[in-house]
Each structure stands twice: as C-alpha cells, then as structure tokens.
Amino acid sequence: MQMTINEDHFEQEVSTSSLPVLVHFWAPWCGLCRMVTPILHRFQSEWADQVRVIDVNADDSLRLANFYQLTTLPTLLFMQHGQVVQRFEGLRGRDELKRILDSLMQQQLLEQTLLQ
C-alpha cells in the first residue's frame, strides 16, 4: 500500500528502508499528479516485495521540495539507501510513466541478479 508522509518522517521512511523507494512528489492542484496516482498504486501492487512507493505533498513539505530542487510536479525520485538513483520530471502521460516504471524495475532485477 502506498504511504503518504511529510518531511518529519521522510528520513526515517526513505533512508532506513531495506527496499528501494519511489518518492512521488505531488500537490492537490496538480492534474497530472492525480492522473499518475492510479498507475503508481498499480505499480506498488505489482512490485510490492521489491519497492516502496511513498507520496509527499510538495505544498506541505516545502523544505523537502527545496532540498530536492523541485521545478515541476509530479516529480518522482527513485532512491536507494537515502540516495537519489534516478529522477523523473515532466512526465507526458500514463503510457510513458508505465514504460519508465517497468524499465526501472527490470533494471533493478538485473542488478540484483548480478550481485548474487
């Protein structure tokens, strides 16, 4: 299940996660953010044992928005051990997001296989 957090819990939920974390920065006024949310829910369900999806309302977490230098919403940060591995901005729609997420997880699976 997707979790919504604020900046008070960000460090705890992201940096200490044993799984990679996909952070979805959004805002209530952002139409594209609302459009991609169901895709992120489905993504979380499909990859539940291999990734966590966390929502952060950028309007309510201005310190985080500034720290990660958000210039557009939605912004997705794929993080491991508290470090940004990939950043996605300016998404153009559902198909592009689905393709990006599937590619990202295939890459993760390949890296995990190579490390074993």
- The tens-digit pLDDT sequence of the chain (116 residues) is 567 888 888 998 898 888 999 999 999 999 988 888 898 998 889 888 889 999 999 999 999 999 999 999 999 999 988 899 999 987 777 788 888 888 888 888 887 777 76
What span, in angstroms and rounded, lies between the C-alpha atoms of 20 and 95?
Answer: 22
Strands (E), the chain: 3-5, 21-26, 52-57, 75-80, 83-89
Q: Are strands 21-26 and 75-80 parallel, antiparallel or unpaired?
A: antiparallel
- Which of 38, 21, 45, 23 shows the shortest CA–CA distance to 94? 38
CATH number of the structural domain spanning residue 76 = 3.40.30.10
Output DSSP code: residue 91. -
pLDDT at 112: 75
- Which range marks the domain in which residue 100 is found? 3-115
The domain tally of the chain equals 1
pLDDT at 116: 67
pLDDT at 65: 95
**Any idea which residues carry the catalytic annotation?**
30, 33
